[in-house]
Chain A
Amino acid sequence: ELKVEQNPLFLSMQEGKNYTIYCNYSTTSDRLYWYRQDPGKSLESLFVLLSNGAVKQEGRLMASLDTKARLSTLHITAAVHDLSATYFCAVVGGTSYGKLTFGQGTILTVHP
Chain B
Amino acid sequence: DSGVTQTPKHLITATGQRVTLRCSPRSGDLSVYWYQQSLDQGLQFLIQYYNGEERAKGNILERFSAQQFPDLHSELNLSSLELGDSALYFCASSGGQGGRHTIYFGEGSWLTVV
Contacts and interface: CB of A to CB of B under 8 A. Distances in A.
Contacts of A33: 103
Given A42-B90, A42-B108, A98 B43 contact: no
B70 interface: no
Interface in B55-72: 55-56, 58
Overall SS of chain A's interface: loop
A56 to B, nearest CB: 12
A41 interface: yes
A43 B33 contact: no
Interface in B1-59: 2, 31, 33, 35, 42-45, 48, 55-56, 58
Overall SS of chain B's interface: strand
B55 A96 contact: yes
A88 interface: yes
Contacts of A105: 42-43
A23 interface: no
Contacts of B56: 94-96, 98-99
A110 interface: no
Given A48-B99, A96-B55, A99-B58, A42 B106 contact: yes
Contacts of A43: 43, 90, 92, 105
Given A44-B105, A98-B56, 20 more contacts: A33-B103, A41-B107, A41-B108, A42-B2, A42-B90, A42-B105, A43-B43, A45-B102, A50-B101, A90-B43, A94-B56, A97-B94, A97-B101, A98-B31, A98-B92, A99-B48, A100-B35, A100-B45, A101-B45, A102-B42
